[in-house]
Structure 1
């Protein structure tokens, strides 16, 4: 390949095909015709000496050679974009824009009210939106530009995702006051394991799973609990517990926040559960974007106060 005559615009086409798996969708993403994208793919194949993609059903699947180009091409395009983007002075009082946060509804209770007040006082022209995480793929929202920030449990991440450690979230057990299954128990004490395993549970699970971290911890003790239902949002879990004799494991910060309003007792779980580390993640393309950087700083400052 003669790099001096290579059209660098072809790399934008290659990246779009990687993202979309289709010349039609890549064309829509780039604002080009499908024939123009197909022509560019033909030129890429000739220049690089590789088919790059093979058709599998309705999708184009990358060859081994092309798969090795996916991340380097994306990173170089983002580096060039950042290099050429003007650095503007950012004033939150006059700034306007939207910042999208992908997270569970735990953050609707523990973040958004405080963030709303902060923005009203410091940046009234910025709109914050809390959106659902992509099920079973925490970072997909960042890649598709649906979210500017994802708040997730610590996990292995691809190189293009930045991360910031925020707080640890231990679990507590909640039960309604007057639940006969916890009669004689005082809030704050460890719930006896026999009580915990005998009572029916409502489990937070957006995917409808019937086991979670608490079950793995119980299994190490040779015990198991009785999951009677699953609910995809924490607010629903708390309401079920308030209106029934079911109990639940929920983040300690949430339990403390809603216990009085919902009439709940809060107990320590009978088995040790490693508190998950919650992190903030974002696409490296927005590292230096003024609005996104300012919003991350505000959100992270609010969330670090939750560390127990």
Structure 2
């Protein structure tokens, strides 16, 4: 390939096809006809000496070479876009775009309602999407779902990402009102559930992966005890609903429990063992760091989530 004569506009076409997996959808993204996109793909194949995309059913699947250049290409295009659109020109009131957040459904309750109100008032042309995390690999959600921001428990992150701390969240026990065993034992809402009773009552566990153990089990193991997990659910809403309609109990984040308890008929108790509150962080791809819309949305989400910080646990 002669780089001096290579048409760099073709790389925008390649990026669009890699994102969409279709020449038709890529054309819509670029405001080009399908035939123009197909023609550009043909020229790219000739110039780069690779098929780039091969048909698999109704989709175009990237070749190994195309996969190897997909992320570096997108980073360079985003960097050029950031250069050509300096932050001073960004006006949220007139901006249009979509911002995709990958997180558990905890954030459907705790983030999306205030974010919806904020966007309505300040940026009506910006759409927000909340999508599921990728089980076992939260960071991969940034690529798998082309997400702009991942809201996840604190962990080591790769060097192609950046992060900010958001909030600590302690755990509480939830049970339905007039819970048979808790009422019989005289345990009032707000008090600590005795450890023997806590370990005897069947429990529902939030686990997108379907695991039967989590942080609560590790905390119990430190004091030589085990609980009885009889059900796992991939969403917090399912955990809360199962508890509200049965004699199960569950450990859930305090902020979520306080939000949903009144409407779901739940009572809140203290767990019998200490559980270190996890730090929740925001993670994003460094390629988007200077994107004006991304930066504005990122700052708004971080500000909203830092309101969830807990007292002495907020030294972050």
- TM-score, length basis structure 2: 0.72
Query: Which residue of structure 1 lines up, in the alignment, with residue 210 of structure 2?
Result: 209
Change in 2 beyond 3 A, CA 1:201/1:41: same
Once the two structures are TM-superposed, the CA of residue 166 in structure 1 deviates from its matched residue by 0.6
Separation in 2 of the partners of 1:127 and 1:26? 21
Map residues 154-165 of structure 1 onto 2, 5 A cutoff: 154-155=154-155, 161-165=161-165
Question: Retained in 1: the 8 A contact 2:53–2:60?
Answer: no
Structure 1: which 5+ runs fail to align? none
Once the two structures are TM-superposed, the CA of residue 4 in structure 1 deviates from its matched residue by 0.7
Once the two structures are TM-superposed, the CA of residue 251 in structure 1 deviates from its matched residue by 0.6
Match of 2:277 among 266, 275, 278: 275
Query: Which residue of structure 2 lines up, in the alignment, with residue 241 of structure 1?
Result: 243
Change in 2 beyond 3 A, CA 1:163/1:193: same
Query: Which residue of structure 2 lines up, in the alignment, with residue 62 of structure 1?
Result: 63
Separation in 2 of the partners of 1:279 and 1:211? 24
Question: Retained in 1: the 8 A contact 2:86–2:292?
Answer: no
Asked if 1:184 corresponds to 2:186, the answer is yes
Indicate the larger mover: 232-241 or 216-225: 216-225
Structure 2: which 5+ runs fail to align? 311-316
Query: Which residue of structure 2 lines up, in the alignment, with residue 74 of structure 1?
Result: 74
Once the two structures are TM-superposed, the CA of residue 246 in structure 1 deviates from its matched residue by 1.0
Once the two structures are TM-superposed, the CA of residue 85 in structure 1 deviates from its matched residue by 2.1
Change in 2 beyond 3 A, CA 1:59/1:198: farther
Indicate the larger mover: 76-85 or 155-164: 155-164
Query: What is the root-mean-square deviation in Å for CA atoms of aligned residues?
Result: 4.0
- TM-score, length basis structure 1: 0.74
Separation in 1 of the partners of 2:117 and 2:25? 40
Question: Retained in 1: the 8 A contact 2:15–2:70?
Answer: yes
Change in 2 beyond 3 A, CA 1:200/1:305: same
Change in 2 beyond 3 A, CA 1:292/1:108: same
Query: Which residue of structure 2 lines up, in the alignment, with residue 123 of structure 1?
Result: 122
Map residues 33-182 of structure 1 onto 2, 5 A cutoff: 36-52=36-52, 59-63=60-64, 65-85=65-85, 87-89=87-89, 94-95=93-94, 100=99, 102=101, 103-115=103-115, 123=122, 125=124, 129=128, 131-133=130-132, 136=135, 149-155=149-155, 161-182=161-182
Q: Secondary structure, in 3 states, of the residue corresponding to 1:246?
A: coil
Once the two structures are TM-superposed, the CA of residue 303 in structure 1 deviates from its matched residue by 1.5
Match of 2:295 among 289, 293, 298: 293
Separation in 2 of the partners of 1:48 and 1:209? 44
